[in-house]
Structure formats: C-alpha cells, structure tokens
Amino acid sequence: MSRNSTNSQPDIMPLPPSAEIHPRGLLEAISYIDQNFANELGGCIIHSRFLTTKQRIEFMEVGFRSSFASGMISALLTPVAIGAIERYIPIFGNADPNIIDKFSAVLLALCFSIGYAAFIAKSSTSYIGEYTRSMVRNLLGGMAFGAFLKAVIVFIAFHTIYFYLFTDKNILWITSKFYYVKMSAERVAGIYYWVQGFKSIFLTSAYFVLISTIIFVAIPFAAYFWASLRNRRLIKAGIIRVENKAF
C-alpha cells in the first residue's frame, strides 16, 4: 500500500481475519517476515498488536524447533570431527591428518550450524516497523532457547558418557568379549587403549558444543542489532516512519 497523496502520514494497513499468518516451518516464517518487511518499506504501518499472542508463540515454536533440530545434528557430528582431529578416526582415509584435513573436520562440526545461523541472520535484518520486529524477536527468542537447551542436554549427555558409561570397568568388560570371537590378545588390547583414549573426546566435544552454540546464537543477534542501528538512521533521516511504541 502506498502513502496517501493528501496526507504525509503512511497508510495503516489492517490485516483481515483471512490474512492471519500461522507459520508451520522456518521457510514459511521467513516468507511472512520478508513479505511484511516489503510492505513496511513501501510505507505501510502495521501495528504490532496485529500479531496475536498465538502467532507470537508460533514464531517462537518455529525458531525453537529449527535451532534444536539443527543443533542436535551438529552435536552428533562433533565427536566424529574431534576424533578425526585427535587421530582416533581416519579422515579421507588418512590416519595422520594434515592441516587441510583438520580444517575439514572442524567444518564437519560447524558448517551446518554456521550456515543455518547465517540463513536466520539474513531474516533477522528484515524489519522496520514494530510488526515485523515482533516477528523477528519471537523467532530469535525461540531459536536462542532451543539452541541453549540443546547445548545443556548435549553437555550433560557427553559428560554422562565419559563418567558413567565409559568407565574402566565397563570398557574392560566390553573389550573382554572380543576374546570370544577368537581375536588376538594384541588386537583386544589395542581396542581397549583406543576406547580409553577416545572417551576423552566426549569432554572436548561437550565444551566445543557450548562454544559453537554461543557463536550460532550470536550471529543472528548481531545482525538484528545491526538492523536496529540501520533503522534508527533511516528514521532520523525521515526516510521511513514507524509505529511509536511496541506492545
């Protein structure tokens, strides 16, 4: 909707009941944000209270589910990546990885989360008025909660594996079973010492997940605050007009 030619104030665009938004997935939520961002850039003012409590919860739910699911995938890949760096798992068929191999292993653990964060960061800049800002804030709030909940669960799980699952007694019991498949004592001993060394990977992975989670959350929020500074400059210059107060 364009500005009224007889009034310097932007038009206020109400949303009819049939136009209510109900995001079911991340792409759908981002599409709603982009669409209404374009309306606000065109001069429309959509009051933030048009975004109902139910819709705010739906945006938070989408952000939570998407970040939690993607974070769990990255968390499961982390011990593999750290194990490759520490030479417990061959990478690209090489048991002694070089710098490029180690960098590739780090990307294995980080690329999905970083790419996902960059994808959300683009949408976190797509707001001008309070309507789209409310969408973005609820999406980011759900994303942050899901990411940190994932980090806590993984942190506890990896420590549980280290302290309670891979105990000396359990490792000895498991490796002793290999004698029954007629495996040589040297190979059984090699498996025992490999598992003893590999279990420390879970402690390293637990802290790696915490750090990567902070980076994952920081990227979209940094983009959000950059957009806030951009909007202040545009409002101060009189290029855009927005709702005075958010609800």
Q: Is residue 150 part of a domain?
A: yes
What are the structure tokens assigned to 172, written together? 């000895």
- Total domain count for the chain? 1
Spatial distance between the Cα atoms of 124 and 138, rounded to a whole number of angstroms: 10
Q: Is residue 11 part of a domain?
A: no
Give 26-47 as a DSSP string: HHHHHHHHHHHHHHHHTT-B--
Q: Is residue 5 part of a domain?
A: no
Buried b (16+ CB within 10 A) or exposed e, 167-180: eeeebeeebeebee
Show the low-confidence residues of the chain (pLDDT under 70): 1-19, 93, 241-247
By the 10 Å C-beta count (0-12 exposed, 13-18 middle, 19+ buried), 115 is classed as: exposed
Supply the pLDDT for residue 64. 95
Q: Is residue 196 part of a domain?
A: yes
* Side-chain half-sphere CA neighbours of 105 within 13 A: 27
* Among 111, 137, 112, CA closest to 59: 137
Supply the pLDDT for residue 3. 43
Domain span holding position 166? 17-236
- Cα 63 versus chain centre, distance: 9
Q: Is residue 111 part of a domain?
A: yes
Phi-psi region of 146 (alpha: psi -120 to 50; beta: other; left: phi over 0): alpha
Phi, psi of 94 (to 5 degrees): -115, 120
Q: Is residue 217 part of a domain?
A: yes
Supply the pLDDT for residue 225. 96
By residue count, the chain amounts to 247
Q: Is residue 151 part of a domain?
A: yes
* Side-chain half-sphere CA neighbours of 126 within 13 A: 20
Using DSSP, state whether 203 is helix, strand or coil: helix
Are 48 and 12 in contact by the 8 Å Cβ rule? The answer is no
Q: Is residue 63 part of a domain?
A: yes
Q: What is the pTM of this model?
A: 0.82
Supply the pLDDT for residue 6. 46
